């Protein structure tokens, strides 16, 4: 069965980002695909040190849980990432995670190519579009395919649970998730 990994970059186990990912997961499951939510809550993912050893050993040298996430992404056809906005940008640990996955893919067989997905930014008020654009850079340099929606994937909310009340944001990311699933079904035989 085709699979989509949904990575929540929030430090909160039951915060807005995870809750939004759960809504996206339901939509993807309804389209007949398998899903798995991975949360960075409780994890501490280091930034890339640029050693380039991944070229030889086909994984990352830093042993902090990144390789386990990477293996799951490698096996899936879809990869959606969600980040809370911190000081106008996507949370650092989420960027650390995708930059290291990108580096291993880049240095090896470019396993990210043709995976379908995209970013979702969650925040209280400012910097959501910046964070969204920032995360998009990862997708396009890695030859990934990002479907659109009826708006950009930004959802507003501060306290846990508030993001689910942003009806327009929620509908946007649900439509996006449906498009991810449909596209995977069409292009991955
Ligand atoms: C350190 C920190 C910085 C933040 N900076 C911003 C910001 O620049 N813009 C914004 O709209 N929200 C900002 N927020 C609010 C969070 O993005 C918002 O509460 C979000 O819903 C948290 O998602 P989570 O519950 O998944 O962690 C910040 C929160 C924290 C903890």
**92 CA → ligand 1 middle, Å:** 12
Query: What band does 189 get if pLDDT is binned at 50, 70 and 90?
Result: confident
**173 CA → ligand 1 middle, Å:** 18
Non-local CB neighbours of 134 within 8 Å, separated by 6+ positions? 89, 90, 95
List, for residues 52-65, the tens digit of each pLDDT value.
Answer: 999 999 999 999 99
Query: What band does 118 get if pLDDT is binned at 50, 70 and 90?
Result: very high
What is the predicted pLDDT for the residue at 15? 98
* Alpha-carbon gap, residue 145 to 162, rounded angstroms: 30
Ligand 1 pocket check for 88: Cβ under 6 Å: yes
Domains contained in the chain, number:
1
* Alpha-carbon gap, residue 101 to 70, rounded angstroms: 6
H or E stretch at 39: strand 34-39
What is the predicted pLDDT for the residue at 188? 87
Ligand 1 pocket check for 85: Cβ under 6 Å: yes
Whether the Cβ atoms of residue 148 and residue 179 lie closer than 8 Å to each other: yes
Q: Which atom of ligand 1 is nearest to the CA of 17?
A: 26
Which residue range forms the structural domain that includes residue 136? Answer: 3-187
List, for residues 61-110, the tens digit of each pLDDT value.
Answer: 999 999 999 999 999 999 999 999 999 999 999 999 999 999 999 999 99
Burial call 141-162: b when 16+ CB within 10 Å, e when fewer: ebebbbbebeebbbbbbeebeb
Whether the Cβ atoms of residue 76 and residue 3 lie closer than 8 Å to each other: yes
Protein residue with its CA nearest to atom 17 in ligand 1: 123
Mean pLDDT taken over the chain: 98
**136 CA → ligand 1 middle, Å:** 19
Whether the per-residue pLDDT at 20 is higher than 90: the answer is yes
Query: What band does 136 get if pLDDT is binned at 50, 70 and 90?
Result: very high
SS3 call for 165: helix
Whether the Cβ atoms of residue 14 and residue 44 lie closer than 8 Å to each other: no
CATH number for the domain spanning 102: value is 3.40.50.360
């Amino acid at each position: 069965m085709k699979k989509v990994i949904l990575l929540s970059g929030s430090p909160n186990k039951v915060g807005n980002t995870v809750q939004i990912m759960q809504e996206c997961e339901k939509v993807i499951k309804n389209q007949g695909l398998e899903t798995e939510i991975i949360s960075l809550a409780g994890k501490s993912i280091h930034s890339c040190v640029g050693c380039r050893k991944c070229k030889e050993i086909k994984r990352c040298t830093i042993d902090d849980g990144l390789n386990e996430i990477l293996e799951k992404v490698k096996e899936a056809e879809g990869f959606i990432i969600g980040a809370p906005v911190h000081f106008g940008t996507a949370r650092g640990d989420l960027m650390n995670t995708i930059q290291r996955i990108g580096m291993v893919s880049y240095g090896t067989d470019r396993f990210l190519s043709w995976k379908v997905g995209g970013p979702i930014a969650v925040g209280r008020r400012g910097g959501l579009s910046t964070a969204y654009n920032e995360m998009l850079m990862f997708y396009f340099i890695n030859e990934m395919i990002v479907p659109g929606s009826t708006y950009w994937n930004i959802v507003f909310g501060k306290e846990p649970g508030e993001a689910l009340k942003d009806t327009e944001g929620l509908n946007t990311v649900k439509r996006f998730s449906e498009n991810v699933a449909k596209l995977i079904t069409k292009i991955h035989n």
